[in-house]
Amino acid sequence: MKNLIIDCETLGTRDNAIVPMFAAIVTDDELSIKDNLKNLIILHPSIEEQRQNGGTEEQATLYWWKSQSIDTFNTVMSQTNSLPLLECAKKFDSFLVEKGYSKNDNPFIWQRGSKDEDWLKNVFASCGNAYKLDWWSVRDIRTAIDVLGASSKQNGYMDADKVSDEGTMLLMKMNEKGKAHHPAYDVVRDFVFLRSLKLV
């Protein structure tokens, strides 16, 4: 079975917050953790076009981004690889088709919390039927981790001793290379958690 994990970086917390960058991975139960990483995409929807469409920014969120490392801030805010919204939506849809993700197979859309799919839906609201995810397929990663007893702190993050050996080694390597807190890292980390719980 194939599922989808999404993670949005935003400039606010409202449903119509601007999303300068989002990452997604299509998971395949039959592939190893390493091979699943080939099914990862990072996209930069145009910030300016989102502003023109009424997308919102909040000072508190902008201050928070400025408190992060300069590399992380520049990665998220860069518009070098940004795409017009319709082109971005179509590229995302083509990625899902290429990786074999089909909502007809009743897969889940995993996200951390309740907002990411709403953010994407609002970003691409002007793109007609180019955006094709269904809200009823959404599942919360934090709830799954806590309910299954994998977090002694009940904070939605798995205890280190409950993460698979393969997953632990991958996350350690990403930390060594300074990739922790890179936006794509969040998707990979949550994939490792869900794989360790045998949910994807």
pLDDT digits (tens, 9 = 90+) for 131-157: 888 889 999 999 999 999 999 999 999
Whether residue 190 is contained in a domain is answered as: no
What pTM did the predictor assign? Answer: 0.94
Q: Is the pLDDT of residue 24 over 80?
A: yes
pLDDT at 115: 95
CATH code (residue 58): 3.30.420.10
Whether residue 65 is contained in a domain is answered as: yes
Q: What is the pLDDT of residues 58-75, one digit of tens each?
A: 999 999 999 988 888 888
Whether residue 176 is contained in a domain is answered as: no
- Give percent above pLDDT 90 in the chain: 77
pLDDT at 82: 97
Domain that holds residue 90: 2-140
pLDDT at 178: 64
Determine the longest span between alpha carbons in the chain, in angstroms: 47
Whether residue 27 is contained in a domain is answered as: yes
Q: Output phi, psi for 29, to 5 deg.
A: -55, -25
Whether residue 158 is contained in a domain is answered as: no
Higher pLDDT, 159 or 181: 159
- The total number of structural domains in the chain stands at 1
Average pLDDT, the chain: 92
Whether residue 174 is contained in a domain is answered as: no
Q: Is the pLDDT of residue 103 over 80?
A: no
Q: Is the pLDDT of residue 197 over 80?
A: yes
Higher pLDDT, 107 or 17: 17
**Residue 199 CB-density burial (10 A; 0-12 exposed, 13-18 middle, 19+ buried):** middle
Euclidean distance between CA atoms 42 and 92, whole angstroms: 9
Whether residue 156 is contained in a domain is answered as: no
Q: Is the pLDDT of residue 39 over 80?
A: yes
Whether residue 16 is contained in a domain is answered as: yes
The residue-averaged pLDDT of 24-40 equals: 95
Q: Is the pLDDT of residue 177 over 70?
A: no
Q: What is the pLDDT of residues 72-86, one digit of tens each?
A: 888 889 999 999 999
Higher pLDDT, 18 or 176: 18
**Residue 39 CB-density burial (10 A; 0-12 exposed, 13-18 middle, 19+ buried):** buried
Kind of pairing between the strands at 2-9 and 21-28: antiparallel
